[in-house]
Amino acid sequence: MTSSEPSPSVRRQDLLEAAYAYALRSGLGTLSLRPLAEEIHSSPRVLIYLFGSKDGLLRALLARARSDELAQIERIAGLQDESDEAGLRSAARSLWQWLSEGAHRGLLTLWAESYAHSLVHPDGPWAGFARDTVDDWLNLLAACQPTALRDTEAGAAQRTLALAVLRGALLDLLATGDVSRTTAAVHLQLARLE
């Protein structure tokens, strides 16, 4: 290898980013290496070499999507003041605003597809994805609660309810595209959080 050639890790990262952009447009459920490789100007052999297998590539794509999702919700949750009594409600409203923006539809559709695959196919590349994302969101919502409430059963129930409202409304929004109705429902339910 000459010094002008990228190292395998750089090439792997470049192909991962290109494959991620493809997955945001096309999903992962019916992913086939040949069309993917053609789209991202690579070959199935190179993808297998760099990711070990199709499952290895799927795991890398799921990790990339999860990282993207986490970065966004951490940014939003980090804007909340944990001493604020309405911190959880405020964080959930901010999260819903982000979730309902059309610019994130590809990522959120990919999340929903991956979540469902993780439930139906609990082994293989999807293993643990659904559970891990639930934990991710609950931990971030907990950080928005007052410290005295965070470690109580009531605190756990409140953030579980907030998560259920957000995720249920998100699935409805992805299915229907009805931002007004789902937003009204989210705001109605979050107003009841105490």
**Contact yes or no for 139/160 (Cβ under 8 A):** no
State both tokens at 127: 């293993």
pLDDT score of 76: 75
Q: Tell me, what's the pLDDT at 3?
A: 47
Predicted structure pTM score = 0.82
Distances (CA, A) of 6 to 10, 36, 43, 57, 164: 6, 21, 17, 20, 45
Structure-token match 């944990």, residue found: 82
Per-residue pLDDT of the chain (194 residues; tens, 9 = 90+): 444 445 558 999 999 999 999 999 988 878 899 999 999 999 999 999 999 999 999 999 999 988 888 888 778 766 655 555 568 898 899 899 999 999 989 999 999 999 999 999 888 888 999 999 999 999 989 988 888 999 999 999 999 999 999 999 999 999 999 999 999 999 999 998 76
SS (H, E, C) the chain: CCCCCCCHHHHHHHHHHHHHHHHHHHCCCCCCHHHHHHHCCCCHHHHHHHHCCHHHHHHHHHHHHHHHHHHHHHHHHHCCCCCCCCHHHHHHHHHHHHHCCHHHHHHHHHHHHHHHHHHHCCCHHHCCHHHHHHHHHHHHHHCCCCHHHHCCHHHHHHHHHHHHHHHHHHHHHHHHCCHHHHHHHHHHHHHCCC
Per-residue pLDDT, 86: 65
CA atoms within 13 A on the CB side of 64: 22
